[in-house]
């Protein structure tokens, strides 16, 4: 496993937040609550499956979507 980008953000844990990941060929764009937080190129996987992982803390997902344009 390779880390393509990292960082931190102050978030209110009492509110829902929108994390958006966009994959366009080798380009990956991450946004949090409508603000782009990372954009990287990774030629390792231009297409394929998706996996979503979290740390051991409590987390919930609502309206999780995986779509193909």
- From first to last of the 69 residues of the chain, give the pLDDT tens digit: 788 888 888 889 899 999 898 888 889 999 999 999 999 999 887 777 777 777 777 778 888 888 876
Indicate the length of the chain as a whole number. 69
**Beta carbons within 8 Å of 36's beta carbon, 6+ residues apart:** 29, 30
Distances (CA, A) of 59 to 15, 21, 33, 40: 12, 17, 17, 26
* DSSP bridge pairs for 31: 20, 36
Tokens describing residue 54: 């979290």
Q: How far apart are CA 58 and CA 6, in angstroms?
A: 21
């Amino acid at each position: 496993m390779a880390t393509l980008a990292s960082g931190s953000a102050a978030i209110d844990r009492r509110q829902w937040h929108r994390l958006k990941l966009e994959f366009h060929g080798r380009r990956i764009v991450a946004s949090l609550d409508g603000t782009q937080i990372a954009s990287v190129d990774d030629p390792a996987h231009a297409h394929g499956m998706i996996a979503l992982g979290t740390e051991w803390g409590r987390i919930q997902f609502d309206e999780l979507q995986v779509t193909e344009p």
